[in-house]
Amino acid sequence: MADVVLTAPATEMSNHHGKEFLGFGTCTPPTVVPSWFVKMFFYPKVKCRNGEVVEAPYGLRKIESILIDEGFDVVTVHPYDIERYLKDAKVVGISVMDPLGFGPVSVTFSAILGGDPSTRIEFINLIKKIEPYRGRVKVIVGGAGAWQFEWDSYWKSKIDCIIIGEGEYVVADVFRRALRGEELPKVVRGRPTKVEDIPLIKRPSINGLIEISRGCGRGCKFCSETLKVKRDIPLENVVKEAEVCVRETKGVILHAEDVLLYGCKDPKFVPNEEKVVKLFKSVREVSEYVGVSHCSLAAVVAKPSVVERINEVVGVGEKVSIFGVQTGLETGSSRLMEMHMHGKCLPFHPNEWCDVVESAFSIMHENRWVPASTLIVGLPKETESDVVKTIELVERLRDYCSLIVPLIFIPMEVCALRRERAFTKENLKDYHYELMAVCMDHDVYWVDKLFREYFKGYKNIPIKLGYWVFSRWVKKSWEKRRREIKAFMKSLVGR
């Protein structure tokens, strides 16, 4: 049995039925739907072999790789199986995205539906399992959501050491000290890692997600990536990680804050088309399916040809029906763009933002790319007029197949606006409800087509049927209540 046990909350230790986008559903509070439903449809337990998970969150795989290289005896397990390993373990390392439910998606879902998000529930369940062993087992937490402990002293007290920021230069030392039984600093801040010091993963990540760039460079003040320098991972390392993943996964997902900016050195963020196409071609040689996580709308408009060439490489419209990508629409207000995210529009000007968004949606629609776009409600200094402009922008996008999701502004500890006041559901005004209703109208309008395309060829019939019933229920409930929008939204918020 190993000294070091690595794990993550059950909401993250899942491949979401091989559909990465369904991972958003893990932020759902078990209120309008029961917890078994959320678990079954959004985070089924990932496959295990000889007690270890076959796929694990990418960040956890990086930590695992460092610890193995440093000679630690490590196992990576599902949290539901962890008790079997705790009697021999000395250290537990937990990777977290949203441990306490303070992330924007969780806060928004909880404000609308009431209750705690499943992400928080599963993290707390995990800590409760470890609790009886705390006398001799040290608990170290890290990952994109580690900052959340700064907002909750109770749960912070349950952790021996919280690693905030990039882990590469600090992880081995912290785990070594923990194994020796030393007192650990409560918070350790990792500094940016040089590209040559970023290790390769040794085992497959969830859904084959692999990092192609770290950081962003556009500098939006509300975003956790703002404080990171952008670095591109060398192509040969990306391909090697893809080869590791496809041993278990159907394909790979290229992850970056903006996949279209891979290899880009242009200060105005115009994509380097040849670098991007070469990336996709190289990965496509080792993986049958290649997906992406995020891209920016401005990059799509700055270089539409790159979208077309990616489609040729990955087979969109042939072997792949649609190409999903997450992107940030943020606001329809050029004033807020100028104030909080000037760089997001580059190479365009904030005054052009609404046209850039519509052009990007149009290009993506023609190329069968489906943006799952988020926008922010309650940015500092937001006025009613800003929200009205966002409503107008969302209405302009009706003809483009997409999802638009409003998220409440959260001044995360790792962003430039961290000293701003938190926006709570009590701050929601009628015009915010109207914006949410317009987004819901948009999503319901596209839900049938999206369901058909997203699940085309999907073999798990019970799950597919379950999602179909769920999408019917959402659509019917919304159509029934559309006339009472304000009362409806307010009643939901009041729950």
Interface residues with ligand SF4 (CB under 6 A) are 216, 218-220, 223, 225-226, 257, 296, 328, 341, 344
**Residue (164 or 171) nearer to ligand SF4, CB:** 164
**Residue (12 or 225) nearer to ligand SF4, CB:** 225
Q: How far is the CB of 370 from ligand SF4 (least distance, A)?
A: 18
Q: Rounded to 5 degrees, what angle do the CA atoms 33, 450, 315 make?
A: 135
**Residue (351 or 460) nearer to ligand SF4, CB:** 351
HSE-CB of 471 using CA atoms within 13 angstroms: 19
Tokens representing 404 are 């638009």
Distance CA 160, CA 340 (A): 35
Q: If we measure between CA atoms, which residue out of 166, 165, 230, 240 comes closest to residue 208? A: 240
Q: If we measure between CA atoms, which residue out of 344, 252, 232 comes closest to residue 295? A: 344
Q: How far is the CB of 4 from ligand SF4 (least distance, A)?
A: 32
Q: How far is the CB of 376 from ligand SF4 (least distance, A)?
A: 9
Q: How far is the CB of 228 from ligand SF4 (least distance, A)?
A: 9
Distance CA 298, CA 306 (A): 13
Q: How far is the CB of 256 from ligand SF4 (least distance, A)?
A: 9
Residue with tokens 């015009």: 431
Q: How far is CA 158 from the centre of its chain?
A: 25
**Residue (126 or 375) nearer to ligand SF4, CB:** 375
Tokens representing 189 are 């801040």
**Residue (218 or 442) nearer to ligand SF4, CB:** 218
Q: How far is the CB of 372 from ligand SF4 (least distance, A)?
A: 14
Beta carbons within 10 angstroms of residue 1's beta carbon: 12
**Residue (228 or 250) nearer to ligand SF4, CB:** 228
**Residue (344 or 442) nearer to ligand SF4, CB:** 344
Q: How far is the CB of 381 from ligand SF4 (least distance, A)?
A: 18
Give, in order, the Cα–Cα distances in Å from 337 to each of 41, 253, 327, 353, 354: 36, 29, 15, 8, 10
**Residue (122 or 257) nearer to ligand SF4, CB:** 257
Q: How far is the CB of 225 from ligand SF4 (least distance, A)?
A: 4
Say which residues have a Cβ less than 8 Å from residue 31's Cβ, sequence separation at least 6.
113, 114, 115, 495
374 three-state secondary structure: strand
